[in-house]
């Protein structure tokens, strides 16, 4: 694995791609459950990918035997099952593909390829400050595995198990309203503290999750780093707050993509580059992300 600090240029011939150990395979649905309004958790029996995938990485899922939808769709790892042969994803129904996915039942088959992309950076030293994980909506899903890895509670892929952090990770979780808040218990029961913010005040803080972040960035113990995933305006605001506070921040982007492994050049994002005419260049999120150091990104 080239890891989360892959250089911001095209990999050279001898440099491994982030998907060097990717496979294309058929997986069997183990379980599907509704976890919030329009929001589902899908468990997939797939030993090859379960054994390889790391927090922050993703996979492409396609419904077999169909021309429509034609392409796969990217989904982040939610967590790997305790038996190590299955993993879960979370998704929210937003269109044609996700509507069809709600019809999947145990025993159905789906096509997968992965693991893809670079995951979150490895957990910091155990005595560093806590990791803050700032999520918007379905952007909470990558943080269950990320949090459990920081707690030393689970090992993923070839990264192995990390020493438990002296500071448990904290999830700051923003959603539109209480009915969209999914599986807080799944986080808290595993030792990840959760603070919720809702736009309408129906649960937790009434307002934006970035308001929770601003408060937390200036409290003790001082955060060692911030990981964020969610709508782009939210991540842009998170990045700005972190920069002002001098806390390193990584953003996991959700760019639309056709292939997931660098062939289609559709998932490009603007990455700062001093020698480019505009000061940035388009880079493939699937190969150089989806997790980027936030300060390297040009947000709209």
Partner 1 sequence: MTPTADPPAPDLSVALGRLRLANPILVASGTFGYAREFAPLVDLSTLGGVVPKTVTPQPRTGNPPPRTVETPAGMLNSIGLDNDGVDHFCAHHLPYLSGLGTAVIANVAGKSPDEFAAMAAQVEQAGGADAIELNVSCPNVSGGVDYGRTPEGAAAVVSAVRAACDLPILAKLTPNVTDVPSVAKAAAEAGADAVTLVNTFTGLAVNWRTRRPVLGNGIGGLSGPAIKPLALRIVYQVAQAVDVPIVGCGGIRTVDDVLEFLVCGASAVQVGTANFADPTVSGRLVKDLAAAMSEEGVLSVRGLVGTLGPAKTAQAVGTPSSSRESDR
Determine the Cα–Cα distance for residues 291 and 145; give it in Å rounded to an integer: 15
* Sequential DSSP letters for 226-255: EEEES-HHHHHHHHHHHHHHT--EEEE---
Query: Does residue 70 belong to the site contacting partner 1 (CB under 8 A)?
Result: yes
Short-list 229, 294, 269, 288, CA closest to 19: 288
Query: Judged by CB, which is closer to partner 1: 17, or 164?
Result: 17
Residue 49 beta carbon to partner 1: minimum distance, rounded to whole angstroms? 13
Query: Judged by CB, which is closer to partner 1: 43, or 101?
Result: 101
The correct pick among 31, 51, 71, 164 for binding partner 1 (CB under 8 A) is 71
Residues 96-125 interacting with partner 1 (rule: CB under 8 A): 111, 113
Query: Judged by CB, which is closer to partner 1: 67, or 83?
Result: 67
- Cβ neighbours for 3, distance < 8 A, ≥ 6 positions apart: 118, 121, 122
Short-list 227, 231, 213, 265, CA closest to 121: 227
Whether the CA torsion 89, 90, 94, 95 is positive or negative: it is: positive
Residues 246-285 interacting with partner 1 (rule: CB under 8 A): 255-259, 261-269, 278, 281-282
The annotation status of 242 as a binding-site residue, yes or no, is no
Determine the Cα–Cα distance for residues 227 and 172; give it in Å rounded to an integer: 10
The annotation status of 264 as a binding-site residue, yes or no, is yes
The correct pick among 2, 8, 11, 232 for binding partner 1 (CB under 8 A) is 11
The annotation status of 267 as a binding-site residue, yes or no, is yes
Residues of each annotated binding site for [2Fe-2S] cluster = 259, 264, 267, 286
Give the interface with partner 1 as residue ranges (CB under 8 A).
Answer: 10-13, 17, 19-24, 62, 67-72, 111, 113, 255-259, 261-269, 278, 281-282, 287
């Amino acid at each position: 694995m080239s890891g989360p600090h892959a250089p911001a240029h095209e990999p050279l011939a001898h440099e491994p791609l982030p998907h060097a150990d990717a496979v294309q395979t058929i997986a069997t649905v183990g379980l599907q459950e509704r976890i919030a309004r329009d929001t589902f958790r899908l468990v997939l029996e797939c030993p090859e990918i379960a054994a390889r995938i790391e927090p922050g990485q993703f996979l492409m899922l396609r419904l077999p035997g169909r021309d429509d939808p034609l392409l796969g769709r990217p989904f982040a790892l939610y967590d790997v099952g305790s038996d190590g042969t299955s993993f879960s994803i979370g998704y929210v129904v937003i269109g044609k593909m996700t509507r069809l996915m709600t019809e999947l039942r145990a025993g159905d088959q789906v096509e997968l390829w992965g693991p893809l992309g670079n995951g979150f950076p490895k957990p910091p030293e155990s005595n560093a400050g806590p990791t803050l994980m700032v999520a918007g909506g379905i952007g909470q899903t990558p943080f269950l595995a990320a949090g459990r890895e920081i707690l030393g509670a689970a090992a993923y892929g070839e990264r192995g198990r990390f020493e438990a952090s002296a500071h448990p990770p904290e999830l700051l979780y923003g959603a539109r309203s209480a009915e969209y808040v999914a599986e807080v218990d799944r986080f808290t029961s595993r030792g990840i503290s959760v603070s919720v913010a809702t736009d309408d005040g129906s649960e937790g803080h009434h307002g934006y999750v970035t308001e929770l972040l601003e408060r937390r960035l200036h409290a003790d113990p001082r955060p060692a780093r911030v990981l964020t995933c969610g709508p782009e305006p939210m991540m842009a605001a998170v990045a700005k707050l972190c920069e002002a506070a001098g806390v390193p921040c990584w953003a996991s982007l959700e760019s639309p993509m056709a292939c997931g492994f660098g062939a289609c050049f559709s998932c490009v994002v603007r990455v700062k580059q001093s020698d480019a005419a505009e000061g940035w260049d388009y880079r493939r999120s699937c190969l150089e992300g989806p997790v980027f150091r936030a300060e390297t990104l040009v947000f709209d």
